[in-house]
Amino acid sequence: MGKEVIRLRNVSKHYPMGDSIVKALNHLEFKVFEGEFVAIMGPSGSGKSTAMNLVGSLDMPTYGTIYLDDEDISEFAESDLAQVRGKRIGFIFQSFNLIPNLTVKENVMLPMMFQGTSVKDRDDRARELLRLVELGDRMDHYPGEISGGQMQRVAIARSLANDPEVILADEPTGNLDSKTGENVMTFLEKLNRQGKTIIMVTHDADLAEKHADVIYWLLDGKLDKVTKRVGKRFVDVTKKKKKEAKSNGRK
């Protein structure tokens, strides 16, 4: 097992909704280790997307702390969070989220522009990444001119632009047919084998069990159970995790 990359400690996220408060996440605790393929599972409304937003530093927890490489990012200023999102985390979204006015290559180059990379280096890197996801012949196409599967591969290439430690994938196959989805998952697995830490949010248990090493099952904003791959099977390690959480709480 590699070093600890991400750790959520007693994290809660509450949203005001009129006069009431919606508790999207309640006292969530989990850790992700370097090189792990983690799935966050749960039905709609379980809080998995909220968890992903917090891990991805897109949002701030109402309570609790989030560590990225032992740094408490819940204390970070907006510009530092932007830096985390730009350099240390790569996002892959269900709806691809490519910018329609930019070509495939320009979409991949964009995160590097925000990091101040030179135009030549950006161009070289984008070409390299697009070849990696087998889209070398689609570089100058616009997102509207390519298929959903190809768009998701562009999103994968974009997520790798600044060589982040962690890839966050939110329902990466949600908008794809099963064959194309499988193809996208193959790329994610390939990245994982190359050492990237992958955190995938999904409601598809089969998909999670097929590809992930650890699955965090959320229900109503709380951690319901944790299962871990042992050989070809997944074993429930919830008690152990809860014990750890309690001892952390006492600390």
Angle between helices 119-132 and 104-114 (to 10 degrees): 130
Please name the residue that has the structure tokens 């994982």. Answer: 192
Decide if residue 58 touches another protein (CB under 8 A): yes
Among 2, 22, 43, 115, which residue interacts with another protein (rule: CB under 8 A)? 115
Q: Which residue's CB is nearer to another protein, number 155 or number 188?
A: 155
The minimum distance between CB 129 and another protein, in angstroms, equals 13
- Distance between CA 200 and CA 38 in Å, rounded? 6
Q: Are 154 and 130 in contact (CB under 8 A)?
A: yes
Decide if residue 234 touches another protein (CB under 8 A): no
What are the start-end ranges of the H helices in 94-177?
104-114, 119-132, 148-159
Among 65, 83, 175, 238, which residue interacts with another protein (rule: CB under 8 A)? 83
- Give the x/- contact pattern for another protein in 149-188, rule: CB under 8 A: ---------x--xx--------------------------
Number of Cβ within 10 Å of residue 94's Cβ equals 18
Among the candidate windows 1-9, 86-94, 179-187, 211-219, which touches another protein by CB under 8 A?
86-94
Beta-carbon contacts of 188 under 8 Å, excluding residues fewer than 6 positions away, are: 37, 92, 156, 167, 169, 172, 198, 200, 211
Residue 14, token pair as written in the block = 């509450």
Decide if residue 86 touches another protein (CB under 8 A): yes
Q: Are 24 and 52 in contact (CB under 8 A)?
A: no
- Give the x/- contact pattern for another protein in 89-108, rule: CB under 8 A: --x-x---xxxxxx---x--
Decide if residue 53 touches another protein (CB under 8 A): yes
Decide if residue 241 touches another protein (CB under 8 A): no
Among 56, 172, 181, 221, which residue interacts with another protein (rule: CB under 8 A)? 56
Query: How does 65-74 read in b/e, with b if 16+ C-beta sit within 10 Å?
Result: ebbbeeeebb
Number of Cβ within 10 Å of residue 220's Cβ equals 14
Among 110, 146, 219, 237, which residue interacts with another protein (rule: CB under 8 A)? 110
Decide if residue 34 touches another protein (CB under 8 A): no
Using CB under 8 A, list all residues that contact another protein: 53, 56, 58-59, 78-79, 82-83, 85-87, 91, 93, 97-102, 106, 110-111, 113-116, 119, 158, 161-162
